[in-house]
Amino acid sequence: MWRIKKDLLLDAIHSAKRYMPAEFICFLGGDRKKERVEEIVFLPSNTSETSASIDEYSVPIDETLIGSLHSHPYSTNRPSSQDKKFFLKYPLNLILGFPYTIENIGFYDQRGEKIGVLLEQY
Ligand SMILES: [Zn+2]
């Protein structure tokens, strides 16, 4: 089961709020074998004012990138069909639904199925 520190999620939520009403996208760095998220990876120009598109070609190929996180400024945390295609790249994918709280984060695996993730306090 994947593990992630609650503080990292709060950081991501904080950033996502600043990007409202635009969608916020970032990546998760960590250890695939230990199934542990260690950091949030912010990439330049990874948001869009108008669409939820993710520029796949701007994503570096890197073994330590193990997941993605993006926000849905006006909807739930359910993945779109486009999201599901993108999810194929990473074993762990988070969608932050509106309003932005930890409770509104959806955790999905590579196939877009909901999975349980252990939130670590500290
Ligand atoms: Zn989406």
What H or E segment, with its residue span, contains residue 5? Answer: strand 3-5
Taking ligand 1, which is a single-atom ion, which protein residues have CB atoms under 5 Å away?
Answer: 83
Q: Position 42: which residue type?
A: F
pTM for the full model? Answer: 0.87
Residue pair 97/72 in contact by the 8 Å Cβ criterion: yes
The radius of gyration of the chain from alpha carbons, rounded to an integer in Å, stands at 13
Mean pLDDT by 10 residues, the chain (122 residues): 96 94 92 95 61 55 87 94 93 97 97 97 80
Superfamily of domain 3-44+62-120: Cytidine Deaminase, domain 2 (3.40.140.10)
5 alpha carbon to ligand 1 midpoint, in Å?
22
∠ Cα 72 64 62 (to 5°):
90
76 alpha carbon to ligand 1 midpoint, in Å?
9
Per domain, the residue ranges of the chain are 3-44+62-120
CA distances from residue 45 to 24, 82, 93, 101 in whole angstroms, order as listed: 10, 19, 19, 23
Query: Who contacts 99 (Cβ-Cβ below 8 Å, separation ≥6)?
Result: none
C-alpha span between 32 and 65 (Å, rounded): 9
41 alpha carbon to ligand 1 midpoint, in Å?
18
**Given this model, what pLDDT does residue 43 score?**
73
C-alpha span between 59 and 47 (Å, rounded): 13
